[in-house]
Structure 1
Amino acid sequence: MASSSSSIHFLLLFCLLFISTLARLSPATTTTTLDVASSLQRTQHILSFHPQSVQPFQNQPLFFNSSVFSVPLHSRGSVHKTHHTDYKSLVLSRLQRDSARVDSLNTRLLFALNGVKKSEIQAEALSTPIISGTSQGSGEYFTRVGVGSPAKQYYMVLDTGSDINWIQCEPCADCYQQSDPIFNPSGSSTYSPVSCESRQCTSLDVSVCRGGKCLYQVSYGDGSYTVGEFVTETVSLGNSGRIKGVALGCGHDNEGLFVGAAGLVGLGGGSMSLTSQMKATSFSYCLVDRDSTGSSTLDFNSGLPADAVVAPLMKSGKIDTFYYIGLTGFSVGGQPVKISPGLFDMDDSGDGGVIIDCGTAITRLQTQAYNALRDAFVKLTTDLPTASGVALFDTCYDLSSRSSVKIPTVSFHFGGGKSMDLAANNYMIPVDSSGTYCFAFAPTTSSMSIIGNVQQQGTRVSFDLANSRVGFSSHKC
């Protein structure tokens, strides 16, 4: 009897030791908190927000210090009031715009990989879109810059996936509605058309020569386009910072979804982008939540913050506009997600790779990578009530009864062993005002993946162009 009791005690002790060992061997799942109540409140506010009612952008200071330029940066919704009356229709509109942009980015890459030259694209009369999707699509963030001498301030779309800067100009053959008065070249002493033989004109993808003047056209994936005269002008970034002779389009015929902005600032890697023309060694931005009416800054030559998570920044030999980043994988809940080694590598032909883009909203991942990431997330969220998919989102949850929830942390991994944890609202976003949230990633059949602005919001993204690095810094907005 005593022997039997000893055996039982021994088995109990063994079980306790075994369970304790398992607990030590199985790392705890890392989580982060999603503030459901706060984000739903923002969805209601952005629908009723009227920019003119509070005039939030008047008399804002612009900063200039030596070679460091800094200008305000705003979400699209805080500059132009939405016409949507419910949040879900606003989200669906955003996703439709976003899909058009992604298609256009992939089309541009396809042209580059197949060696389609600008001379093979017929310019026709430069009055309608040449090829829907030959460029990048409408932007989601606006910056405030000065154009002309004397300088007048305008809201401009910010776009890292585009090189050509342009602004709507008088006289207008067809101009969309913008928040500021349309730029009048006759009021500027530094306005100067460029010649057809100039480097600026020959650098354009689509251009024709008419009357000795260079005419340009840029078409976007959503059907938007701008047509006009290519010129040089003075661009002001701050009260004391002026850049003379910036090549930009003076658009006399402009249509599409740029409503609210006066034009576009191209921050891509090509020779005609603003960053290239001003010879910036670096630039950075912090994107506020798209439903926020707050603002942050777009900075030039400000360097990399000391606490930045740094990743390699690469360029393609086929297309110089895009910024490729050294993404190697992910983890969910602190556990690595299994994907094929080298899945995100760009090959010698320029195919594949991962670009970072402020104009694309939802991160697109190669299907294999997306499925692995989504499945890892779903496996750790079995306690959350599910909901039907919405548009391009196939993983959604009904959080209508919750004020906050714990969700597994999603992290990006970069070359050199660096990693960055995403905030909860960078990958679980509301798609209506009643509490439906979706996992904010989507698959793509393209070989190129895209890190979009939902994953970038709330983080200062710094492009160290001189040293081919990109840094991510939390709480630097």
Structure 2
Amino acid sequence: MAFMKTLFFVVYLLSSLLLLHSIATHEGLESITLSLIHPFSVHSPFYPGKNVTDVEKTNLLIQATVDRMRHLFPMTTRSQGKYWNGSSEVDDIAATVLEYSGAYYVAKVGIGSFPPVPGPKWLTYYLIMDTGSHITWVQCEGCNPCFPLIQIPNFPFSRSQSYRSIPCGHRDCPTPREDCYGGSCGFIARYSGNDGPLTRGTIARETLTFSSDISGSMAYNNLFLACGLQNNNYRFRQPNKIAGLLDLGPGGRGTPPIWRQVDQKRFSYCLFTSEQTSSKLHIGEGARLAQPQVMSTPLLRGSDISIAGIRLKLWGFFRFGGCVIDTGVPFTSIVAKAYSIVRIVFIRYFAQFGLQLYGSGSRPSGLPMFDLCFPRPPQGFRFPTMTFHFKRADLVVQPTGVFSVGSNYICVTLRSGDVTLIGAYQQTQHKFSFDLELGNTGTLFFAPENCGAPV
């Protein structure tokens, strides 16, 4: 918890959700390379279909952002009406977080050892890659209650030759004795308050395999894996392929995160907005940035914002709440008092060109559920950039990461919130590298980069 409190960027690496495609297989492994598939790609298990409109896809991302905020801050996230704005007075909510809209990345992971079955010697599962969690778990055989799972059985741990149970109270058990499940090392994973999803079960040692069509596979033996045996209040959209969670968090009361278990302390990622391209995640030495435009900032509190080069002097609004960089949140939220100023600046900017904010009476049907939407600008319109100012480093978000543009509208992809989180959409076309060894609290490096590669 002390680590979490000192972070300027609370690093929820990809809780958000990622599709794993490749990993190096050479001796003396120095880094893991993962291919990240856009959730709306035809290659994603969450592909919504070719008849889904761009506005419907955007609204899925908006709902995913709201769900994520409820997950991270269940006691402070507030509903804000039909559209995102900072003016509504409403009651606190603590809704179920795992009603997934399908606007996420997922991880494809091999679990267990089942020779002499022909082909792969493991079973492949889709896991939610979540750095807000402290447990890597999969739903196992014998669960009661269980959530529905198609195309793959609940993990048959009793038949896996690499499964090693851990007795309750054993020195190898990473959780306290009160979490024991029967006579075994156990865990409790609760999400979003007392009424949210809850998983209980056992913790064991198991082999996890990361696979690729191109580079083969790499198996890691004796990693901690939790078996979900009591899974309550999960409402995955059906038919469901998600079997559990893959932890890439900073650590806590639970199993060590995967990056720590494979003895790495550095990771990086680079996101792209297109559905036809893949992005990359690196864990280990491959996460270092070598570009000449690299900037760095310590992982401490504090930030400011500029729009179209105009500094808004918002340091005071971020002094206590800090700022979170979270790829699990599709769109950025800004603490309410700062958002109100950002909102005014955008309205004034568009007003210079005769473009007035759509109000409740003038708002056309079929617009995304954003607060700041305007008529589409004419050809040649100069879109403003948005810059987040950190200590010794500026993150310049290009217009493609600030606006959602349709045939008759342009919307600013921001929302008002109780905390400030820089979401995945605003992180696109930059490579971010987190080094948890440098400095007292770690260091963030980032640089502009064309992140996409053909799927």
Common fold: TM-score over 0.5: yes
Residue 409 of structure 1 and its aligned partner are, at CA, apart by 1.0
- Counterpart pick for 1:257 among 210, 215, 236: 236
Residue 469 of structure 1 and its aligned partner are, at CA, apart by 1.0
The answer on 1:296 being equivalent to 2:257 is no
Match for residue 410 of structure 2? 437
**Mapped contact 1:74–1:294 kept (Cα < 8 A):** yes
Equivalent residues in 2 for 1:73-112 (5 A)? Answer: 73-78=36-41, 79=44, 80-82=46-48, 85-107=52-74
The answer on 1:72 being equivalent to 2:35 is yes
Residue 270 of structure 1 and its aligned partner are, at CA, apart by 1.1
Residue 373 of structure 1 and its aligned partner are, at CA, apart by 2.0
- State which structure, 1 or 2, has the greater radius of gyration over its C-alpha atoms: 1
**Mapped contact 2:97–2:197 kept (Cα < 8 A):** no
Q: Distance in 2 between matches of 1:208 and 1:305?
A: 42
Question: CA deviation digits over 1:139-197, x for unaligned, max 9?
Answer: 72223333223344433322232222122333454233457665332442212233332
Equivalent residues in 2 for 1:314-329 (5 A)? Answer: 314=300, 326-329=301-304
- Counterpart pick for 1:471 among 441, 445, 448: 445
- Counterpart pick for 2:389 among 395, 398, 413: 413
Q: Distance in 2 between matches of 1:371 and 1:440?
A: 14
Q: Secondary structure at the match of 1:380?
A: helix
Q: Distance in 1 between matches of 2:68 and 2:437?
A: 28
Listed as ranges, the gaps of 5+ residues in structure 2 are 1-18, 78-92, 114-120
Q: Distance in 2 between matches of 1:368 and 1:337?
A: 12
Q: Distance in 2 between matches of 1:75 and 1:206?
A: 40
Equivalent residues in 2 for 1:7-406 (5 A)? Answer: 61-64=22-25, 66-78=29-41, 79=44, 80-82=46-48, 85-107=52-74, 140-149=104-113, 150-171=121-142, 173=144, 174-177=146-149, 182-198=154-170, 203=175, 207-212=179-184, 214-220=186-192, 223-237=196-210, 239=216, 241-252=218-229, 254=231, 255-257=234-236, 259-271=240-252, 272-289=256-273, 292-301=275-284, 302-307=286-291, 308-314=294-300, 326-339=301-314, 341-346=315-320, 352-382=321-351, 383=353, 384=355, 386-388=357-359, 393-399=370-376, 405-406=381-382
Higher helix share: 1
Question: CA deviation digits over 1:75-130, x for unaligned, max 9?
Answer: 333312327844444433432332232133123799xxxxxxxxxxxxxxxxxxxx
Q: Distance in 1 between matches of 2:307 and 2:133?
A: 32
Q: What amino acid maps onto 1:406 in structure 2?
A: R
**Mapped contact 2:96–2:197 kept (Cα < 8 A):** no
Q: Distance in 1 between matches of 2:269 and 2:386?
A: 22
Q: Distance in 2 between matches of 1:281 and 1:213?
A: 26
**Mapped contact 1:287–1:460 kept (Cα < 8 A):** yes
Q: Secondary structure at the match of 1:210?
A: coil
Residue 305 of structure 1 and its aligned partner are, at CA, apart by 0.5
Residue 237 of structure 1 and its aligned partner are, at CA, apart by 3.7
Residue 330 of structure 1 and its aligned partner are, at CA, apart by 1.3
Residue 329 of structure 1 and its aligned partner are, at CA, apart by 0.6
Residue 359 of structure 1 and its aligned partner are, at CA, apart by 1.0
Q: What amino acid maps onto 2:344 in structure 1?
A: D
**Mapped contact 1:148–1:234 kept (Cα < 8 A):** yes
Q: Distance in 2 between matches of 1:204 and 1:256?
A: 29
Seen in structure 2, the aligned counterparts of structure 1 residues 278 and 135 have a Cα distance that, compared at 3 Å, is: farther
**Mapped contact 1:136–1:161 kept (Cα < 8 A):** no
Q: Secondary structure at the match of 1:94?
A: helix
Q: What amino acid maps onto 1:148 in structure 2?
A: G
Q: Distance in 2 between matches of 1:146 and 1:469?
A: 32
Seen in structure 2, the aligned counterparts of structure 1 residues 185 and 360 have a Cα distance that, compared at 3 Å, is: same
**Mapped contact 1:155–1:179 kept (Cα < 8 A):** no
Equivalent pairs counted in the alignment come to 376
Percentage of pairs with the same residue: 26
Residue 70 of structure 1 and its aligned partner are, at CA, apart by 1.2
Match for residue 82 of structure 2? none
Q: Distance in 1 between matches of 2:207 and 2:94?
A: 31
**Mapped contact 1:69–1:237 kept (Cα < 8 A):** no
TM (norm. structure 2) is 0.71
Seen in structure 2, the aligned counterparts of structure 1 residues 137 and 344 have a Cα distance that, compared at 3 Å, is: farther
**Mapped contact 2:73–2:192 kept (Cα < 8 A):** no
**Mapped contact 2:249–2:257 kept (Cα < 8 A):** yes
Match for residue 115 of structure 1? none
Q: Distance in 1 between matches of 2:209 and 2:196?
A: 30
Q: Distance in 2 between matches of 1:248 and 1:292?
A: 32
Q: Distance in 1 between matches of 2:434 and 2:99?
A: 22
Seen in structure 2, the aligned counterparts of structure 1 residues 205 and 415 have a Cα distance that, compared at 3 Å, is: farther
**Mapped contact 1:160–1:358 kept (Cα < 8 A):** no
Q: Distance in 2 between matches of 1:268 and 1:109?
A: 21
Listed as ranges, the gaps of 5+ residues in structure 1 are 1-56, 111-130, 315-325, 347-351
Q: Distance in 2 between matches of 1:405 and 1:454?
A: 22
Q: Secondary structure at the match of 1:262?
A: strand
**Mapped contact 2:305–2:386 kept (Cα < 8 A):** yes
Q: Distance in 2 between matches of 1:160 and 1:404?
A: 41
Q: Secondary structure at the match of 1:292?
A: coil
Seen in structure 2, the aligned counterparts of structure 1 residues 420 and 157 have a Cα distance that, compared at 3 Å, is: same
Q: Secondary structure at the match of 2:73?
A: helix
Seen in structure 2, the aligned counterparts of structure 1 residues 252 and 75 have a Cα distance that, compared at 3 Å, is: farther
Q: Secondary structure at the match of 1:268?
A: coil
Match for residue 452 of structure 1? 423
Match for residue 46 of structure 1? none
